[in-house]
Each structure stands twice: as C-alpha cells, then as structure tokens.
Structure 1
Amino acid sequence: MRKAAMPGRRLGAEERALWARVIESVNPIAPARAAPAETPASAPPPKPALPKSRVRAAPVAVKPPPLAKTPPRPEPSNTLDGSWDRRLGKGVVSPDFAVDLHGHTLESAHRLLDASLERAIADGARVVLLITGKAPKSQSLGGPPKRGLIRAAVGDWIAYSRHGSAIAAVRNAHPRHGGAGALYIILKRGRTVS
C-alpha cells in the first residue's frame, strides 16, 4: 500500500491546504450502536441524525499536460535539378495542364485542385499551371500586402494533398504564365496515386 507521506518529508503549503479540504469533506462512519433502551410510550421517537453538510472543496489548480506536438507539415519533395529551375525561371517550360481557380470559393477551389491533380497525374502531365489570381492591392498606401484567400490556402492544400507523393516541386510561375498569380506544380514522372 502507498503511504500518505514519506518518512522525513514534510507536506508543502499546497499539499497541506488540499489535505485540510479532504479532511473537512469526510463524514465519519458512525460506530454500531447498542439497541436503544425502551422508551416510554409518551416520549417522542428519537429523530434520526442528520448527516453533516458536505463542504465542497474548491477545485485545485492542476497543471494541464503538455500539448502534443503537431507533426511537421509535409513538404513536397524537391527533386528538381538546376536545369529545371533555370528553364522555369526563363519561362521556356510549357505547362501540360492548367487549373484556373478564379471565381471559386475556398471549398470549391480545393475540390477542383484535388480533381485536377488526379486527372493530370492520370494523363501523365509533368507541369501543372495553377492559376490562383494575384493578391488584392492594399487599400491603404504603404499598408502590408494582402494575400488572396485561395492563394494563401494553396500551400497547405498541396502539402497535405493525397497526391503529395506525386509532386516533385512547387515553383512560382513565370510572368508570361501569370507571375505572382500562378504557380507551377511539377509532377514526378511515371507516378500514379489513387
């Protein structure tokens, strides 16, 4: 059995306060009584003993367990060599497949991107041009640049996509393909993902 306190160890202030609250909330068990002596018929019957009122102990502040660490966000593997980056930077790579997310809600844009990636992979496409639209211009002069909602969400959608293992890299598009309003999604060759 576990002892209440270890020999030679004194309770701290919080432990003493907690123990005092526990003691206050305990009702002792009444010892067995001998049968009551016969009472005259004129005497009123004895009243049953009322239980002691229970004192509710204030909740003790308990330190919450540490939050579980969120797993690191998976990044599409970066398997492009330098020649790919140079060709993409010069705008000489022609997209095999284009997806335009203009005019969509976040939900419909996400569904369209997922379905389009599935189709592009099935068709053996290598470069998908994802058109997200340019960020809206800041309302105030010198204010922080704003990002469109779809453009801001695309990175997470791609990173957590069920097609993530088929994506080699994601790069900003060349100005002739939409510049800041578009992305290249480079797919790995010969991969099919369901």
Structure 2
Amino acid sequence: MIWLGYRLQLLPLMQCREYLTDIEWQYAQTLSTKRAQQFCNGRALVRKLLQQYHDISCDNIIIVLPTDKAPTLSILGEPWQLSISHSAQAVAVAVSQSNQLGVDIEQIKTRNIIEFSAEYTALSGAENLTEFYQRWTTAEAYSKYSGEPLLNLLQQSAKLQQPQHHLSLQGYMLCLMYQYVDAKLEINEQK
C-alpha cells in the first residue's frame, strides 16, 4: 500500500507545530521563512497522513533531519519508505511500508519547451506544458526513487519502466514513481 498526500497551499508554521518534534521545530527556526514552511509542512503532512490511516502517534514516527541524502522514515523502529516534494505553495508526500518510491510536484509555469527539449533529451517530444511537466516530474520522481542524479536522467531518452501515477492538479503536476505494479494507492488531498 502507498499513501500519497498533497496540499496545494502550505500551512502557517504554527499550524504544523503539533506534528513536529522539538528538534525539528528548533531546526526549522534556523531556516529561511520559505524553507522552514516547506520543511514543517512536509513533516506535518507525513505524520498527519500516518495518523489518519494507521492511528500512529507522532512520537512513534521518526523522520531524520536533513542531510545530503533523502529523508528516511521509521515507525515504531521499523524502516518505511518516504519521499517528499515541494514547489511554490504545494507539498506532496508518499509513504509505504515496503514499496520503494519517489514523488515530485511542480508548479506549472510557462516554459520554453523547445529550449528545454534541445538541452534535455528526456523532455524532447513534449508538445505542450502538460506533457512537458509530466516528463519533468517523471524524471524527478525517478531520481528520488532510484538515487540516480537528475541531470543524468534528463540527458537520457530511455523510457522508464517503473510504475508511475500522474495527477494534474490546479496549477501543479504531480508524479509518483513506485516499485510494484500491483501496489494499492490511497490518495489524500489535505486542505
């Protein structure tokens, strides 16, 4: 099972506080306002999603502080899969007990599709912004899924064989990449 949650409007920091550990809250105070809001919203959304579907207390949900690697998650001492993405005022999180995954959300902005396609092979052939952002979010989600550098993926034209799910949202494109084709997916928009 994969739980995918997203919010298209970040909450103020104080509304996230109850879902954060004291260490996370202190860490957030060292960040810029924008980065603190993204950090706090991502972690709050992970915990809210897990509480909603598993009735797990925040104390039992451990997310490591940022390093140069993707965040890791453990619940009651057991490792879980986690991916978090931010763009503008949106945040998306994906969690699974056993399904390796990667998630990306991007705000849809006007782009020079021809220029990007010429520079990055993985984006070539996109005929409109929707196709462009589907390809872009696929590459980013796969980068998080596989650990392969994004620039390497953007310079490749190979079709990715991993299961993926795209959501076209109000002004955003979201892509979830995951390991098992038969995985059940629960999608939850948070207001």
**TM-score with structure 1 setting the length:** 0.23
Q: Which has the higher strand share?
A: 2
Q: Which has the higher helix share?
A: 2
Q: Which has the larger radius of gyration?
A: 1
Task: Flag the structure with more relative contact order, 1 or 2, with Cα contacts below 8 A and sequence separation at least 6.
Answer: 2
